[in-house]
Copies of this chain bind each other. A is one copy, B any other.
Amino acid sequence: MNTIFLDACRGLPVERAPVWLMRQAGRYLPEYMKVREKCGFLQLCKTPELAAEVTIQPVDILGVDAAILFSDILIPVEAMGMKLDFSPAPVFEAPVRTLRGVESLRIPSLEEDMPFLPLLIRLLRRELEGRVPLIGFGGAPFTLACYMVEGKGSRDFATVKKMMYCAPEVFSALMEKLTAMLIAYLGGQIKAGAQAVQIFDTWGGILSPADYERYALPYTSRVIEGLAGKGVPLIHFVKNAGAMLDSVRKAGGDVIGLDWHTALGRARDLLGPDVAVQGNLDPAALFGPRPHIEAEVKRILGENRGRPGHIFNLGHGILPDTPPDNARFMVECVHRLTKT
């Protein structure tokens, strides 16, 4: 099996840098769109055969060094008892705003309440055997809380912040529940066969560093501790956290995901040699001509200066209109330019 991704997560030297792309299974691929014609997004997540098919597509088409479960961070929140729609952005029609609302949420069992997920993981492990490792994932507690309290995406996240400041007992009850849920949820994924886990904290970066340390870090940290000793590397990605990477590091993770707003070289200097990093090409760079893409890959590799423990990735999810050929070319550049 191609283990360079797992080796790099552990900071080991590898023959060439591993690369995968956040949202690599998605609608920029015509092959994915073909599967999506058959069913909606949530249905696709819940149909193991189809989810497995789209999970493997980028491995075949782009030549990436890891597969990531086709799923959504809000799937376990739905299983907690919140009605979820995608239109196409996620919407909870009844957001959580009260202690009673929090108390009515349950901590679901992966095997019983989301059986399609362990099924998908087992199916993928069989189908991927001998090729690349499988990454499981979940949202960070704070990011899930944002969606659950706001009910949808938000520009200012004023509702969740109001709850933090004005009803801290409701906020912390919600975060406690999410923390317990995530330990079970991600632990279940590992048990089913996920070989690494990524925590996506999409919204942690809307907080000031002081608020991040108070309202988000302690919970993420407990999730990460709760997964320690399970033998799989953990990638911790907080978007827009370039000015508080030391806090992100404090929360934990074997690998720190970097968005493109942070210079990778500087981030490595700050984080030190004991933690690996993942990133961090601007997804929009894939709209550029090939010389631009290659120059950007070179720049990022140059910033890494050959240090072990670098997984090449985008700094955020691949954009919907990305030409697949450009994504493939990027993967090829990383492989060619790092071959030892």
**In the complex, which range does the number of interface residues on chain A fall in?**
35 or more
Residues of B with C-beta under 8 A to A288: 161-162, 165-166
Q: Mark A242-273, 1 if CB is under 8 A from B, else 0.
A: 11100000000000000011110010000000
By the criterion CB–CB under 8 Å, are A262 and B243 in contact? yes
Let me know if A12 is at the binding interface, CB within 8 A.
no
A103-111, A221-229, A278-286, A304-312: which lies at the interface: A278-286
Residues of B with C-beta under 8 A to A287: 158, 161-162, 165-166
Residues of B with C-beta under 8 A to A321: 158
Partner of A284, one of B157, B209, B261, B284: B157
Let me know if A289 is at the binding interface, CB within 8 A.
yes
Residues of B with C-beta under 8 A to A157: 284
Which chain A residues numbered 277 to 326 have a C-beta less than 8 Å away from chain B?
Answer: 280, 282-285, 287-289, 292, 296, 299, 315, 319, 321
How many angstroms between the C-alpha atoms of A266 and B261 in the bound complex? 18
Partner of A165, one of B240, B266, B280, B285: B285
How many angstroms between the C-alpha atoms of A210 and B158 in the bound complex? 32
Which chain A residues numbered 205 to 244 have a C-beta less than 8 Å away from chain B?
Answer: 205, 207-211, 240, 242-244
Let me know if A37 is at the binding interface, CB within 8 A.
no
By the criterion CB–CB under 8 Å, are B158 and A284 in contact? yes
Residues of A that sit less than 8 Å from B by CB: 156-158, 161-162, 165-166, 205, 207-211, 240, 242-244, 260-263, 266, 280, 282-285, 287-289, 292, 296, 299, 315, 319, 321
